[in-house]
Amino acid sequence: QPDLVERLISVDISPVSTAPVSEFSAYISAMKSVKIPDGLSRSAARQLADDQLSPVVQLPQLRQFLLTNLVEAEGRYVWRVNLEAISHHLADIMNFPHFHKPYPGPVLFLGGSNSPYISSKDYPEIQRLFPKADVQYIKGAGHIVHQDKFEEFVAAVLKFLPPP
């Protein structure tokens, strides 16, 4: 229902399958294998989980982002997100639904320059589905653009949005 959307911002994702460039499957496996004994403080539990994730999730910023999902429940540390459901449906999550009718409004594809998720090979599909799209990259940002370069991210979003 494009008439319900005035404008659209896509942050570091293209309208194509991202499975070939994604390491999410390995990240989910690493998260599922984290073992934290009962009785640890929150900071000790997070440090232990961080240590266990670091061989697979090498970027400290990404580990910190994943660790925001580690919560205490009934005296145990668990992942807030349903890792089983995500792992069983990862192919669906990493694919973009097929649309034939383009979205006519303004669209900003805002990617991190250090991320593979918006590639020049995706431009034809972006233009087909979003003819008024503008593709921009924030220099030095990875996939988690808003965390890596917060001020630059906010500035790009505010520039794209209409004035209040």
The string of pLDDT tens digits covering residues 11-39 is 999 998 776 656 888 999 999 999 999 98
Model pLDDT, residue 20: 60
Cβ contact 81:70 at 8 Å: no
Model pLDDT, residue 112: 96
User: 107: closest CA among 6, 13, 17, 18?
Assistant: 6
Give 12: exposed, middle or buried? Use CB within 10 Å, 0-12, 13-18, 19+.
buried
Model pLDDT, residue 45: 96
Model pLDDT, residue 164: 82
**Helix %, strand %, coil % of the chain (to 5):** 45, 15, 40
Model pLDDT, residue 21: 57
Cβ contact 78:67 at 8 Å: no
Q: Which long-range contacts (CB under 8 A, 24 or more apart) does 37-46 make?
A: 38/75, 38/76, 39/75, 40/77, 42/72, 45/70, 45/72, 45/77, 46/70
Tell me the domains of the chain and their CATH numbers: 2-16+97-160 (3.40.50.1820), 23-90 (no CATH)
Consecutive sets of 10 residues in the chain, 164 residues long: mean pLDDT of each? 92 82 86 95 96 94 92 94 93 82 96 94 95 98 92 98 89
**Strands, E assignment, 34-147:** 70-73, 76-79, 107-112, 133-138
- State how far the Cα of 77 lies from the Cα of 67, in Å rounded to an integer: 11
